[in-house]
Amino acid sequence: MADRYLSFTATPPGRFLTRRLGLPRPAALKRWSPGHPTLDGPLLHLTAGRSRLDLAPVLARTGLKIADAAHATGAGKPAAVVLDATGVTGIDSLAEVHAALHPVVRSVATSGRIVVLGAPLDPHDHEQAAVQQGLEGFVRSLGKEVGRGRTVTLVRPAGDATAAESTLRFLLSPRSAYVSGQVIEVDAAEITAPEDWARPLTGRTALVTGAARGIGAAVAETLARDGARVVCLDIPAVESELAALADRLNGVPLPLDITASDAGERIAAELPDGLDVLIHNAGITRDRKLANMPANGWSSVLDVNLASVLRTTDALLSAKALNSGGRIVATASISGIAGNVGQTNYAASKAGVIGLVRSLAPRALGRHGVTVNAVAPGFIETRMTAAVPLFVREAGRRMNSLAQGGLPVDVAETTAWLAHPASGAVNGQVVRVCGQSLLGA
């Protein structure tokens, strides 16, 4: 369903009324397309404290023209600002964060990006840990201030800049339009860059559950765009839609109930050469307050959203069906982080997915060479949210820093970044795709 308020605020009467009444004024987000693959404008590279990273080569490969503080005035409005704050270790150097961003923050272009790089918290240096933790509050607050479709994110690389390259490329591109206010930790790891950054999944096989429509279909389309051979899985009841999608993507339809006790074994049998990317997207809702929720309303949601994820993942890992260097990306929800009225079942299932990711990630990487991460969508414009009552729908759209709902492609782009072969240093992360929702952290 079209966001008529967003369209209205782009008109002269809409701009006048929203300004006079103090109403939200969302900016139309600039998302990736073949004709718009990069941000429009230069990238401003700033530093606070004594940097421990060699960022210049990585930033040069983003495709954006690099400017520094000395040449910022004549470079035009920056499409992005990267502030290297990895060397911020004390209160005095924390002041440099303000000094660096204060003069330029208003000049960032509409739908621009501000990325702050911090350091892991040092358990043996409480002052360093204090000021680096301070960056989280700073970034989340700035994300709620900047407006005009701009986003703010904190990245904490534990190793060198190369390990964070896929993350920086994602955050400094139109692909991350609905990701803001996030803290992303990047481990120290040796990364092999793909031969073609435009089609990084070439030669890889990806399985997407719940692929027939909505977010699942967008994920399948995006992975196929990036070169993957996509196996599209959904329940037999939507087999015709599933087959049409798979045919369009030159993929493989797999009509299968993911809650079947032998689903993992059947998937492994269908993929004798193994699987490189496993996307757990299948999910359902049965919303009611707990006092009115029948037992089957509870059990069906937990079975589809959580139990099937656990069973299938365990079966595929046990069968060694996930190839080394593989990726598992599960779909959580901000409901699993902040809770939601009428969704005790759904929130429990999605919080369970987060627990699974955090527990399994280090073991899966150590034993199988596979990373495990999650995306946590907020209000996304789908058939399901289109059926929500008008006032609830409008509240969901406006209660985030970007003042609008996201699109399925926003979740898909984030999933594709986590599935990227060069994202091997990103593990155990839960990344909200919510426009920095005002609910939760």
What does each C-alpha distance from 17 to 11, 23, 241, 243, 390 come to in angstroms?
A: 10, 8, 43, 47, 21
Each residue of 351-363: pLDDT tens digit? 999 999 999 999 9
Q: Give the whole-angstrom CA distance, residue 345 versus residue 190.
A: 40
Residue 280 vs residues 99, 256, 309, 312, 329: alpha-carbon distances, Å: 43, 14, 7, 9, 6
Judged against a pLDDT cut of 80, whether residue 387 lies above it is answered with no
Judge contact between 108 and 78, C-beta under 8 A: yes
With left for phi above 0 and alpha for psi between -120 and 50, is residue 42 left, alpha or beta? beta
Handedness of CA 113, 334, 332, 234 (dihedral sign): negative
Residue 136, pLDDT > 80, answer yes
What is the pLDDT at residue 388? 74
Q: What is the pTM of this model?
A: 0.96
Position 2 scores a pLDDT of 78
Give the ranges where 369-428 is alpha helix by DSSP (H): 383-386, 390-398, 408-419
Structure tokens at 211: 């692929």
pLDDT of residue 434: 97
pLDDT tens digits, 63-75? 999 987 665 555 5
Confidence of residue 139 (pLDDT cuts 50, 70, 90): very high
pLDDT of residue 75: 58
Question: pLDDT-derived band of residue 395, with 50, 70 and 90 as boundaries?
Answer: confident
Q: What is the pLDDT of residues 173-205, one digit of tens each?
A: 999 999 999 999 999 999 989 999 999 999 999
Please report the sign of the dihedral spanned by the C-alpha atoms of residue 17, residue 21, residue 22, residue 24.
Answer: negative
- pLDDT score for 328: 98
Please name which of 422, 352, 411, 436 lies closest in space to residue 187, comparing C-alpha atoms: 422
Q: 263-270 and 308-318 helices cross at what angle (nearest 10)?
A: 50
DSSP state of 434: S
Query: Residues with Cβ < 8 Å from 8, sequence gap 6 or more?
Result: 14
pLDDT of residue 374: 98
Average pLDDT value over all residues in the chain:
94
Alpha-carbon span 221 to 244, nearest angstrom: 12
- Per-residue model confidence (pLDDT) at position 350: 98
Q: Where do we find the tokens 């992005």?
A: 80
Q: What share of the chain is helix, strand, coil (3-state, %, to 5)?
A: 45, 20, 40
Per-residue model confidence as pLDDT tens digits over 234-283: 999 999 999 999 999 999 999 999 999 999 999 999 999 999 999 999 99
372: tokens are 């495990």
The whole-angstrom separation of Cα 269 and Cα 312 is 13
Residue 318, CA atoms < 13 Å, CB-side half-sphere:
9
**Statement: residue 158 has pLDDT above 80:** yes
Residue 152 DSSP code: E
In which element (H, E) is residue 117 found? Answer: strand 113-117
Question: Mean pLDDT across the stretch 327-350?
Answer: 96
- Give me the pLDDT at residue 441, please: 55
Q: Three-state SS for 51?
A: coil
What was the pLDDT predicted at 400?
Answer: 95
- Better pLDDT: 174 or 8: 174
Give me the pLDDT at residue 256, please: 97
The confidence score (pLDDT) of residue 155 equals 98
**Burial (Cβ within 10 Å: 0-12, 13-18, ≥19) of residue 425:** buried
Domains in the chain, CATH or no CATH each = 31-186 (3.40.50.720), 205-433 (3.40.50.720)
How much is the pLDDT for 391?
76
pLDDT for the residue 203: 97
- Those residues with Cβ within 8 angstroms of residue 136's Cβ, 6 or more apart along the chain or in another chain: 154, 183
Active site residues: 346
Q: What integer pLDDT is reported at residue 392 of this predicted model?
A: 80
**Rounded average pLDDT over 73-94:** 89
pLDDT for residue 385 is more than 90 = no
Residue 72 is predicted with a pLDDT of 56
pLDDT per position as a tens digit, 281-292:
999 999 999 999
Looking at residue 3, what is its pLDDT?
A: 86
Name the residue with tokens 């960056």: 135
Q: What is the pLDDT of residue 20?
A: 86
